[in-house]
Amino acid sequence: MPSSISLTVNGTHHLIDVYPGELLRTALRRLRIFSLKHGDETGESGADAILFTRTPDDPKSYRIVNSGILLAAQADGASVVTLEGLEGEDAEGAERSRQERLSPRISTLQQQFIECGAIQCGYCTPAQILAAQHLLDKEPRPSEDAVREAIAGVLCRCTGYLKPVQAILRAAAQLQGETPPAPEIDVRDAPATGEWPASDQLPSNGWHDGGPDTQTQTRIVPVTVAPPRTQVVNKPEPKVDAVKLAKGRPVFADDVELPGMLYGGLLTSPVAHARILSIDTADALALPGVHAVQTYADLPRVIYASGGQSYPQPPPYDQVCLDSKVRYVGDRVATVAAETPELVQEALERIRVEYKELPAAFSPEEAMQTGAPVIHDEDDAQMIHDAKRNVAVKLLVDHNDVDAALESADFVFESEYRVHQVQQASIEPHVVITYWDEDDRLVIRTSTQVPFHVRRMVAPLLGLPVRRIRVVKPRIGGGFGGKQEMLIEDLCAHLTIATGRPVKFEYTRQMEFSSARTRHPQRLRFRSGVDASGKLVGMEVRVVADTGAYGTHGLTVQMVTGFRALSTYWLPAARFDCDVVYTNKPVPGAFRGYGAPQALFGLEQHMEEMALAFGMDPTEFKRINWVKEGDSLVMAVAMGEGREGFPQTVESSGLAECVEAGAASIGWDRRRDPDWKAPPDRPHIRRGIGLAICMHGTGIAGLDMGAASIKLNDDGSFNLLVGATDLGTGSDTVLAQIAAEALGVPLDQIVIYSSDTDFTPFDTGAYASSTTYISGGAVLKAAEDVSLQIRRHAAAHMFEGVDADQLWLEDQKIFAPGGRAVSLEKVALHSIHQEEQHQIMATASHMSYVSPPPFAAQYAALEVDTETGQVTVEKAVMAVDCGIAINPVTASGQVEGGMTQALGYALCEEMPYDDNGRLQISRFGDYRILAANEIPELDTILVQTYEPTGPFGAKAIAEIPMDGMAPAIASAIFDATGVRIREIPFTPERVWRALKSEKK
Amino acid sequence: MAILAEYHRPKTLNGALDLLADRTARRVPLAGGTHLVGALETRQRRDVDGVVDLAALELSYICQNDSSLRVGAMTTLTELVEHPQCADLAAGILPATARFEGPQNLRNAATVGGLVALAEPDSELFAALLALNVSVVAVDKDGNESHRLLADFTLSHPRSSHGPVLITGIQLPLVHAKTGHARIARSPMDRCIVAAVAVAAANGDLSRSGTSGGRNRADTTRTALCGVGSRPQIAGGPVLPTSDYKGSGEYRLAMAEVVGRRARAGATGSRP
């Protein structure tokens, strides 16, 4: 029974009815306090932090606590302050003038979060700002340590905390009357080997010479790389969505309440491998308020693959919505829709399932053995390579005769590495709301990276045509590949179809770990040969990958592993041999890096080990072998993602400069300082520095396609509609910058909207580091088209005798030679209302047959406790060539966040299982993602080159930060101790055992 | 999703004890909730019909009592370590170890009573309290108060006819002591795999504030270990660590020696 509690929220008193088990977070969100987010159930994410006191008369008594681990009833008589209440602006009854209400009020702290680029997905931002404000109220001049401690309880998976900490320190200084200098981003131009394009036409990259006295002309720009005269591109523009995120507005999938909405839940398998003999749902259905219980018997059996990829889906096709067999602990069994989350839980617990347990296999080695249990023995699965041996996919790719090459080599080296399973762990769990609209079309509001793929993929599962489905992607609270999957949308939609009611379905954190997606574990064996000069003559890579119970991204992730392993260094001959194997474990899928971190962990160590065995300096060995400008990527044709690829040549590379710049930052020379390496006052400590180089891709050549629409408004502003999916990376901002640059307007004149399958054009979605390059290319084309239409209209009606090609757009005006100009607003009003009326707008698509590689050097400096095996990273550096950084702030944010995830991959994140295939972790904390107060010093250096195929010279940056940190740390551990560890994570015990065995 | 039928917030200790002893429902005490609410929400605990919130029992206080501090069970970990005498006690070992109980969001809600009741094997603050020879003040189902050394303390079932069923506070000796603390973890702020806290009392006696007489006599450094058993324990007894994903029993056993040595060296100023 509910009871009434008295609660003051942001100064307003409420009497609300709460159930005994209701959380304070839930109660507050019922009061429309949407800045509180659900990150977990055990209080470790801190996304639901509030300021709380039971003695509100004492303003100093407020403490920051997590509202998700307080019962609402515990708060009876208490007072709560949330982000909405900090400045009073959004609180009920707050007085503001009309003028104030016309523009949002931004606090100093919020402003600094925006200026510093401290907001990526923004899911944890309200809690971070609240914690920071609470700190500044107590300590107006906090130290950096105090800042880190203050926000340590709010986990952020995007930023690496560097920019939030900078923002808080700068806000503190500003509040003390100081004027902190502009935030600094280390952006350098690599000594150019390229040049700006020479053409009689406006370059297709959108840059134009532009000055009023200068005609477009053929010219060779002197050796340089940075755009010489951009106004918006290559500038640290604030994120276009930053204000709403800084203010904690209801922008995420979960932030709506629909009339009559039900709650959905999923019963998952407690056993690793079993047939379902029976499911009794009667008790669950008998509960008043339970509207639907669905099992395999209730849903059509349609075979599909869940990876969010382009049509046709890469095989295998081995899933159905609900099956009569379960293949891992956490697999789908049944769903429920009910009036309240509590009822859902109760109903799930009343479903009785009789399982016939089957033998299970928990490693690829076990699964491939003769007599191993067959995980996919169903007869309707399609395109499984060898179901009887549990091999989902077999990849075998040869370039020239690698056996002959190795035979002829002066030196052959072979080594093996293992990488483990980790999770994307976005702070926002998977969440979806489905409902019928007034036209009987199914609306799916979902936290996804791939809205268009979801629409196409879910349609046959539901038996609906694509035209009756609308997928809306609101803001996303992080994805990192985990949401490149059609994961729960089908189940929720089936519940809406069954009940006719809106249904909300959200994973718990435990379900995120057990029933969402992860990174593929792999065993990688390298065999390479070199000639007497140290040049590689051939390399063979053999990979055995664990794809868990379903194939989903198994083919394509492993293909990328092979491509990265065999393309970073130039190889006359190469072979990739890979088995992607089913096991009875939770399912790997897409995760930032997409097979590259696995490849690079093996490759970079293999190269280093080989150099040392061969008697060569490892960096020099890498330098003479890494691919350089003009080199072809020999495996590109044979190793497209799931299909044949296209020839690739490296057009730009700043790798040498990255290695140099990173070495200076990390203090590479300290490797030769005995006192630094073995500090005399700490005899059990050894220090080392390691390097790994990385090469990634920029989109999927010949496959990824993005489209954009731009239209001119009456006031000279533009609407930009993109199907691209900003999952926190800042892609909306970057795309708007590209449009603004090409249209000669400030960023605030571009109103961007992404993405809704009804209203925005197609885009493959946010993955494969493609958005800036592919979607940006589409935006640029559309903007150039709109620019031409504007200039034509202006030439025809406003600049008599002047050709459209002689006009240019700048400063929200159209300029003609001689200095004449009219405003964009005048052209807009004229074209819409006055003469030759028409809507100036354009839609453009872009795809590319090339995927220009970004390059990077990643360094780690660390210490190893030789008695305990504990590794402590002191500093991590990444110098990265991402082409021209469209936005240096968001680009550097990607690096910092990616490096931090990569540190976790190398050191402390892992998914351990018991002997029955049950995950031994179910919560943050057990699954350790790094907090603000334990991050080493991070340094990011953007080494700019000009990529001729990219918009304004850009290539990718989002994934490459994930690739090289683990091998850099392995290298540093070796430098510190002389011990090579070929398996991650570098947990204290693993390192201790390696040190111990070396002593023997 | 927590499924609770009852929430109670009694105003008296006897009221709380009556609710807990009542056999008509399965009720458990609710202190800060940082552990219990999560356990209910995740359905890790399904054996609970109702909670008895201790917030109104006026058990949140710190006061000096001769040579010790009496700390109420509902005192939060933050209040504990921010109290000037607690903060300075034994070279600041309480704030130093409390950091590893979790970030301030959790420490602001977690209570001393909850910490003692849970006795989590990797609780370094618990180990510090052990090393400081804290005693626990608790009441039985009839409200009779008892004091027991933390090392010997276990909580009885709320309906048990014997033994303490509700923690009301701890007795913290105001010793002048040097301390050492050593830990091993997957990351700097992760909960430990193995840790040790050593206390070397300057006046040579750590037993004065305890109520069990002459145990743990002075002139010795008192060391408590985490991660080597089902709860933190005083070093010197049998150590039988079990394996889990953070560390094997073999590793924990070997590391117990290392962190114990380092913590003692920190406390005594000797070389580890």
Contact A928 B186 (CB under 8 A): yes
Using DSSP's 3-state secondary structure scheme, residue A527 falls into strand
- Please give the Cα distance from A127 to A295 (Å, whole number): 39
- Two tokens at A768? 């494969």
Q: What is the DSSP letter of A317?
A: B
Rg (CA), chain B: 18
The answer to whether the bond into A316 is cis (omega within 30° of 0) is: yes
Domain covering A262-358+424-515, topology: Aldehyde Oxidoreductase; domain 3 (3.90.1170)
The answer to whether the bond into A985 is cis (omega within 30° of 0) is: yes
Q: Which residues pair with A339 in a beta bridge?
A: none
Distance (Å) from the alpha carbon of B194 to chain A's nearest alpha carbon = 10
Question: Domain check: are B201 and B251 in the same one?
Answer: yes
Confirm whether B1 is domain-assigned: no
Confirm whether B39 is domain-assigned: yes
- Please give the Cα distance from B22 to B189 (Å, whole number): 41
Q: Are strands B50-53 and B6-8 parallel, antiparallel or unpaired?
A: parallel
| Domain ranges within chain A, ordered by starting residue | 1-179, 262-358+424-515, 388-422+520-640, 651-697+850-1000, 705-847
What is each CA distance from A753 to A449, A468, A908, in whole angstroms? 15, 22, 38
Question: Domain check: are B165 and B50 in the same one?
Answer: no
**Chain B residue at shortest CA distance from A73:** B7
Count of structural domains within chain B = 2
Q: Which residue has the tokens 């809704």?
A: A756
Question: Domain check: are B42 and B98 in the same one?
Answer: no
- Interior/surface letters A149-170, b for 16+ CB within 10 angstroms, e for the rest: bbbbbbbbbbbbbbbbbbbbbb
Residue of B47, B74, B187, B271 to mutate when probing chain A, most A C-beta within 10 A: B187
Determine the pLDDT at residue A201: 37
Q: pLDDT below 70 — which residues of chain A? A: 87-96, 191-228
Residue B257: which region, alpha, beta or left (left: phi > 0; alpha: psi -120 to 50)?
alpha
Q: Are A73 and A16 in contact (CB under 8 A)?
A: no
Distance (Å) from the alpha carbon of A357 to chain B's nearest alpha carbon = 24
Q: Are A538 and A409 in contact (CB under 8 A)?
A: yes
- Please give the Cα distance from A449 to A915 (Å, whole number): 34
Question: Domain check: are B124 and B40 in the same one?
Answer: no
Nearest to B44 by CA among B3, B100, B79: B3
The upper half-sphere exposure of residue A569, i.e. CA atoms within 13 Å in the direction of its Cβ, equals 30
Question: Domain check: are B98 and B180 in the same one?
Answer: yes
- Please give the Cα distance from A756 to A874 (Å, whole number): 44
- Two tokens at A528? 């390479």
Enclosing domain of residue B202: 62-268
Contact A71 B50 (CB under 8 A): no
Q: Are B181 and B195 in contact (CB under 8 A)?
A: yes
Size of interface A-B (CB pairs under 8 A): 162
- Please give the Cα distance from A183 to A180 (Å, whole number): 8
In chain B, residues with a C-beta closer than 8 Å to the C-beta of A993 are 251
Determine the pLDDT at residue A209: 33
- Interior/surface letters A359-393, b for 16+ CB within 10 angstroms, e for the rest: ebbbbbebbbeeebbbbbebeebebbbebebbbbb
The answer to whether the bond into A755 is cis (omega within 30° of 0) is: yes
Contact B38 A149 (CB under 8 A): no
DSSP string over A330-348: T-EEEEEEESSHHHHHHHH
Determine the pLDDT at residue A174: 96
Other CB atoms within 10 Å distance of the CB of residue B92: 14
- φ, ψ for residue B218, nearest 5 deg: -60, -170
Consecutive H or E run containing B257: helix B249-268
Distance (Å) from the alpha carbon of A813 to chain B's nearest alpha carbon = 52
Domain covering A651-697+850-1000, topology: Aldehyde Oxidoreductase; domain 4 (3.30.365)
Q: What is the DSSP letter of A429?
A: P
Which CATH architecture best describes the domain A705-847?
Answer: 2-Layer Sandwich (3.30)
Residue A260: which region, alpha, beta or left (left: phi > 0; alpha: psi -120 to 50)?
left
Q: Are B131 and B197 in contact (CB under 8 A)?
A: yes
- φ, ψ for residue A288, nearest 5 deg: -60, 135
- Two tokens at A648? 């690739």
- Please give the Cα distance from A924 to B183 (Å, whole number): 20
What pTM value is reported for the model?
Answer: 0.95
Burial class (CB in 10 A: 0-12, 13-18, 19+), A481: buried
Question: Domain check: are B91 and B48 in the same one?
Answer: no
Nearest to A12 by CA among A36, A37, A39, A32: A32
Q: Considering CB atoms only, which of B5, B251, B258 is closest to A989? A: B251
- Please give the Cα distance from A15 to A13 (Å, whole number): 7
In chain A, residues with a C-beta closer than 8 Å to the C-beta of B33 are 69-71, 74
What is this model's ipTM? Answer: 0.95
Same fold, A262-358+424-515 and A705-847: no
In chain A, residues with a C-beta closer than 8 Å to the C-beta of B55 are 54, 74
Burial class (CB in 10 A: 0-12, 13-18, 19+), B87: middle
DSSP string over A430-496: PEEEEEE-TTS-EEEEE--S-HHHHHHHHHHHHT--GGGEEEE--B-S--TTTTSB--SHHHHHHHH
Confirm whether B220 is domain-assigned: yes
What is each CA distance from B56 to A76, A563, A981, B18, in whole angstroms? 11, 64, 55, 15
Q: What CATH number corresponds to the domain at position B241?
A: 3.30.465.10
Confirm whether B127 is domain-assigned: yes
Distance (Å) from the alpha carbon of A979 to chain B's nearest alpha carbon = 19
Distance (Å) from the alpha carbon of B269 to chain A's nearest alpha carbon = 14
- Two tokens at B217? 């006599």
Type of residue numbered A313: Q
- Please give the Cα distance from A835 to A264 (Å, whole number): 55
Residue of A17, A22, A38, A41 to mutate when probing chain B, most B C-beta within 10 A: A41
Q: Which residue has the tokens 């072809």?
A: A632
Consecutive H or E run containing A785: helix A776-797
Percentages helix, strand, coil for chain A (3-state, rounded to 5) are: 30, 25, 45
Nearest to A726 by CA among A887, A841, A492: A887
* Long-range contacts formed by A258-262: CB under 8 A, 24+ apart: A258/A433, A258/A435, A258/A502, A259/A502, A260/A501, A260/A502, A261/A433, A261/A435, A261/A501, A261/A502, A261/A503, A261/A504, A262/A291, A262/A337, A262/A338, A262/A339, A262/A495, A262/A499, A262/A501, A262/A502, A262/A503, A262/A504
Q: pLDDT below 50 — which residues of chain B? A: 208-219
Question: Domain check: are B37 and B83 in the same one?
Answer: no
Confirm whether B193 is domain-assigned: yes
Q: Considering CB atoms only, which of A23, A907, A923 is closest to B187? A: A907
Q: Which residue has the tokens 């574990």?
A: A521
In chain B, residues with a C-beta closer than 8 Å to the C-beta of A992 are 251, 254-255
Q: What CATH number corresponds to the domain at position B29?
A: 3.30.43.10
The upper half-sphere exposure of residue A895, i.e. CA atoms within 13 Å in the direction of its Cβ, equals 31
- Two tokens at A205? 């990259």
DSSP string over A868-919: T--EEEEEEEEEEE-BS-SSHHHHHHHHHHHHHHHHHHHHT----B-TTS-B
Determine the pLDDT at residue A205: 36
Q: Are A470 and A756 in contact (CB under 8 A)?
A: yes
Question: Domain check: are B42 and B111 in the same one?
Answer: no
- The string of pLDDT tens digits covering residues A319-346 is 999 999 999 999 999 999 999 999 999 9
Which CATH architecture best describes the domain A1-179?
Answer: Orthogonal Bundle (1.10)
Determine the pLDDT at residue B220: 75
Question: Domain check: are B37 and B116 in the same one?
Answer: no
- Please give the Cα distance from B214 to B98 (Å, whole number): 28
Nearest to A712 by CA among A841, A844, A843, A842: A841
DSSP string over A648-712: -B-----HHHHHHHHHHHHTGGGGG-HHHHS-TT-TTEEEEEEEEEEE--SS-TTT-EEEEEEEE
Contact B33 A42 (CB under 8 A): no
Q: Considering CB atoms only, which of B34, B190, B258 is closest to A69? A: B34
- Please give the Cα distance from B137 to A418 (Å, whole number): 52
Nearest to B4 by CA among B58, B57, B53: B53
Contact A42 B191 (CB under 8 A): no
CATH number of the structural domain A388-422+520-640: 3.30.365.10
What is each CA distance from B204 to B92, B99, B175, B207, B220, in whole angstroms? 18, 28, 9, 9, 7
